[in-house]
Structure 1
Amino acid sequence: MKPNSMLFGMTFAVAANLAVAAEMAPVIEVSAGTPTKAAKLSLSEQLVSLERKLDARNRAQVNVQRQLDELQNEVNELRGITELHTYQLSQVLDRQRELYQELDRRVSEALKPENQTSAVTIAPTGNAVKVNYSDNLTENEAYDRAVNMVLKDKRYEQAIPEFEAFNQRYPNSTYAANAHYWLGQLLFNKGELTKARQEFDVVVSNYPDSNKRSDAMLKLAMVEQKENNQTKAIIVYKKLIAEYPNSSAAKLAQPRLNSIKP
């Protein structure tokens, strides 16, 4: 009985294993060919996520464009303000030029010796020569102070160290040629001809484009004439007339040149 029982048991186990294998095969085939519910949900979520990203990017682009528009508006406003300030500054500088041209004429009048009407060249008001003026307020104030000592206070003696200090402090000033010339004129009127010659020579040698150069040449020749250096005076007079034939200084130089005996 036992051998038969064992054979029956083995046969039953094999049959059971075959049945289990037969049942599992369809499950494997179905799972391999058809997506599961979890896979379907994941794909749906991915689409939703992609849509959200696209929407966020579109919103960001809109924000960036809005910011660019705002920046452009601000740039336009700043450009308008800059143009307005540039125009206003131009007006101020033009007015400053007019004031200093008038100032230059008045200083020339103030320093003209009463008994030497030809000693100083006075440029006509209507034909004032343009001069470059500084936008350095400290420099302007220092120059104004020196000039006002001549014009307003009539303190000619005190104006000499004031111009000397200005020339030392601002050697590259746009007013340097005028300051050296007026200092030379003050020294000339005072009778300090050697120092006056030095100041006039600075204008002639260092400032070829200055409107005071012809006047300084005239004064150099006058200094030489006063010191009885007739030969040097003749040379400077002739040079002045040759370089500035139509200037007021040349017209004053010609009779002085004619008066020198060879």
Structure 2
Amino acid sequence: MIKYSLLAAITLVNASVIANPAPVTDINRDRQTVSTTPLNNGGSVEQRLATLERIVEARTEAQLRMAQQLQQLLDEVSELRGVTETHAYQLDEILQRQRDLYQEIDRRVSAIQQSPPANAAVPVVQPPATASYSSDVSENDAYDKAVNMVLKDRRYDAAIPEFESFIRNYPQSGYAPNAHYWLGQLLFNNNELAKAKTQFERVVNNFAQSNKVPDALLKLGQIAERENDKNSALRYYRQLVEKHGSATSARLAQERLNVLN
């Protein structure tokens, strides 16, 4: 009788274990959620739907996070591209300024080498298109004073009225195209774009044979870009490339054309 009772008890315990198995963790759901659905039937329909909804929500959130990270990376790449273009533009300006200084120094050395002795007769000739050493001492002194403020003293703001005074006093000087260009460059550096544009236009329109014309055209294109006038910028750059293709500034103009087109 005792054996029969013990056997019956064991049988009931086994039946209870089979009917109600231990809860397990659903690895497809959020790791923090534990499913208590029995393994033999997978839980009720409501529980299954709730599980699927949590899975979809988790995957949707992950996709949103990935999309946000991707957009952030794209924004950073765009910002870096803008910084790179700005640095390239500034480098072009620095290189152009160095070329201007070297040209001015070369002009001075050539002028000194070609100047006649003090006791020699100085023939009266028409000044050429490019700057040449003048026989007028006051004219030379006035021009050298203005240029030295840029090259030696680096008093850029003080050089502006000096160049303006030189242009007023010596409008027909062989230095005139250089003076207009230097004045335009100083105004350009001060972001006085309208005034700078006027000086560069005078170089292009009034001194067509000057070696400053290509550089003036490049500056006019840069001013147009700063003023968001793309059509004018393209026109100046094309004029420079077509008419002065051998000039160093033509290469810079072509680079800008490649970017703007």
Give the TM-score, by structure 1 length: 0.53
Match of 2:149 in 1: 149
Kindly indicate which of the two structures has a greater share of residues assigned to helix.
Answer: 1
| Alpha-carbon distance between aligned partners in 2 of 1:192 and 1:159, rounded to the nearest angstrom | 15
Which amino acid letter does the alignment assign opposite residue 153 of structure 1? D
2:90 matched to 1:116? yes
| Alpha-carbon distance between aligned partners in 2 of 1:255 and 1:213, rounded to the nearest angstrom | 18
Match of 2:171 in 1: 171
**Secondary structure of residue in 2 paired with 1:118:** helix
Is 2:147–2:159's contact at 8 Å kept on the other side of the alignment? Answer: yes
| Alpha-carbon distance between aligned partners in 1 of 2:189 and 2:256, rounded to the nearest angstrom | 18
| Alpha-carbon distance between aligned partners in 1 of 2:192 and 2:246, rounded to the nearest angstrom | 30
Deviation at 1:174, TM superposition (A): 0.6
| Alpha-carbon distance between aligned partners in 2 of 1:152 and 1:175, rounded to the nearest angstrom | 19
**Secondary structure of residue in 2 paired with 1:219:** helix
| Alpha-carbon distance between aligned partners in 2 of 1:187 and 1:114, rounded to the nearest angstrom | 21
**Secondary structure of residue in 2 paired with 1:228:** coil
| Alpha-carbon distance between aligned partners in 1 of 2:157 and 2:203, rounded to the nearest angstrom | 21
Which amino acid letter does the alignment assign opposite residue 224 of structure 1? A
Deviation at 1:117, TM superposition (A): 2.5
| Alpha-carbon distance between aligned partners in 1 of 2:204 and 2:133, rounded to the nearest angstrom | 19
Match of 2:228 in 1: 228
| Alpha-carbon distance between aligned partners in 1 of 2:155 and 2:166, rounded to the nearest angstrom | 16
Deviation at 1:115, TM superposition (A): 7.4
**Secondary structure of residue in 2 paired with 1:132:** coil
**Secondary structure of residue in 1 paired with 2:222:** helix
2:215 matched to 1:205? no
CA RMSD of aligned residues (A): 2.2
After superposition, what is the alpha-carbon deviation per residue over 1:43-89, rounded to whole angstroms, capped at 9, x for unaligned? xxxxxxxxxxxxxxxxxxxxxxxxxxxxxxxxxxxxxxxxxxxxxxx
**Secondary structure of residue in 2 paired with 1:153:** coil
| Alpha-carbon distance between aligned partners in 1 of 2:131 and 2:170, rounded to the nearest angstrom | 17
After superposition, what is the alpha-carbon deviation per residue over 1:86-140, rounded to whole angstroms, capped at 9, x for unaligned? xxxxxxxxxxxxxxxxxxxxxxxxxxx9972312261777xx6864221110000
| Alpha-carbon distance between aligned partners in 2 of 1:228 and 1:172, rounded to the nearest angstrom | 34
Match of 2:162 in 1: 162
Is 2:215–2:249's contact at 8 Å kept on the other side of the alignment? Answer: yes
Q: Which has the larger radius of gyration?
A: 1
Which amino acid letter does the alignment assign opposite residue 118 of structure 1? D
After superposition, what is the alpha-carbon deviation per residue over 1:124-161, rounded to whole angstroms, capped at 9, x for unaligned? 77xx6864221110000000100111111110000001
| Alpha-carbon distance between aligned partners in 1 of 2:209 and 2:236, rounded to the nearest angstrom | 18
**Secondary structure of residue in 2 paired with 1:235:** helix
Structure 1 runs of 4+ with >2 Å offset = 128-133
**Secondary structure of residue in 2 paired with 1:163:** helix
| Alpha-carbon distance between aligned partners in 1 of 2:155 and 2:167, rounded to the nearest angstrom | 18
| Alpha-carbon distance between aligned partners in 1 of 2:150 and 2:224, rounded to the nearest angstrom | 26
| Alpha-carbon distance between aligned partners in 1 of 2:161 and 2:131, rounded to the nearest angstrom | 24
Matches within 5 A, 1:55-74: none
Matches within 5 A, 1:129-148: 131-148=131-148
2:221 matched to 1:247? no
Instruction: Call closer, same or farther: CA 1:255–1:231 in 2, change over 3 Å.
Output: same
| Alpha-carbon distance between aligned partners in 1 of 2:89 and 2:260, rounded to the nearest angstrom | 20
Give the TM-score, by structure 2 length: 0.53
Which amino acid letter does the alignment assign opposite residue 244 of structure 2? Y
Which amino acid letter does the alignment assign opposite residue 190 of structure 1? N
Is 2:220–2:236's contact at 8 Å kept on the other side of the alignment? Answer: yes
